[in-house]
Amino acid sequence: MTTRVLAIGECMIELTHTGDRTLSLGYAGDTFNTAVYLARLTSPDDVEVGYLTRLGDDEYSTGILAAMRAEGLDTKPADRIPGARPGLYLVRTDDHGERSFTYYRSESPARRLFDHDHHPDLSGYDVLYLSAITLQLLSDSARESLRTELAAARARGAHVVFDSNYRAAGWETVAVAREAVRRIWELTSIALPTFSDERALFGDATPAATRERLAGLGIPDIAVKDGGNGCLLADGTAVPAEPVESTVDTTAAGDAFNAGYLAARLGGADPAEAARAGHAIAAKVIAQPGAIITDPALPPRGR
């Protein structure tokens, strides 16, 4: 049977500096990046990948939908709001491949996900994937609506996959972010956090402390990402990162790991095998510029 996966969040216009005064246009966003790589790593006969977001009716929103379809994503969950315009961000990358972002997204239509006029049907999905950036977009009432849907999904046996991708600038306070993230961890079955985010939110001293805290919530499947140090699994196994000759751009490294890990787990791999698969795709991504790379060995599903 085909496993139906729904990623939830925002796809934005990505403007990447190729020089001080030149930019290249793309489309990206953390959960979108994971959805794209998950689709590339799996067969449509085995895994259907949909993307739930809200877009405008402008040419850039049309371009985002075209990019989704080109990657083989199901765009039916994405609706369009007349007069709205998608968010955008600019990316600068330093000599070590580390990136910095400047965002323009306060009026993004994705901020109206799960608002009073938006009631998407999540009942047909086997896996729901989201991040703290998804939560960051939403109003308090919309977060509660989403949490209700996730609780119903868990009750019927679906997986909730969560990455606490914490970006302080997008939250009112760290306390608000901590509480929003904590409430989703309570519903999570596959946890894919980054240690530095959990340290910032919960004060964890080590990846092991993060693992222990999440395991204490009853989460059975955990991979705590720690950059070049690799990741730590639910059973305490440490899986080293895959070496790379040079790091060009770390954008979407964690998103790619999540896709590789989830694709392998959905295919029946054990957590250690899945972690190695996650590290392998992350190594490919950081060796090229941009969130969504061009690689003949990793072609878009839709082509």
**Structure confidence by residue, pLDDT tens digits, 172-217:** 999 999 999 999 999 999 999 999 999 999 999 999 999 999 999 9
Share of the chain above pLDDT 70, in %: 99
- Contact criterion met (CB below 8 Å) for 271 and 265: yes
Region class of 194: left (phi > 0), else alpha (psi between -120 and 50), else beta: beta
CA 155 – CA 135 distance, rounded (Å): 21
Active site residue 20: no
Would the pLDDT of 303 be above 60? no
CA 214 – CA 216 distance, rounded (Å): 5
Average pLDDT (115-140) is 96
The CA-based angle 37-50-83, given to 5 degrees, is 110
> What pTM was estimated for this model as a whole?
0.95
- Contact criterion met (CB below 8 Å) for 250 and 99: yes
pLDDT in the model for residue 93: 78
Annotated catalytic residue within 74, 163, 204, 255: 255
Q: How far is CA 190 from CA 172, 229, 266, 286, 296, in A?
A: 27, 20, 11, 24, 30
pLDDT band at 100 (very low <50, low <70, confident <90, very high): confident
Q: What is the pLDDT of residues 221-271, one digit of tens each?
A: 999 999 999 999 999 999 999 988 888 877 789 999 999 999 999 999 999
Residue 38: φ, ψ to 5°: -65, -45
pLDDT in the model for residue 20: 87
Average pLDDT (132-161) is 97
Dihedral over alpha carbons 6, 12, 17, 20 (to 10 degrees): -160
Q: What is the pLDDT of residues 64-97, one digit of tens each?
A: 999 999 999 999 999 999 999 999 989 887 877 6
Average pLDDT, the chain: 94
pLDDT in the model for residue 302: 67
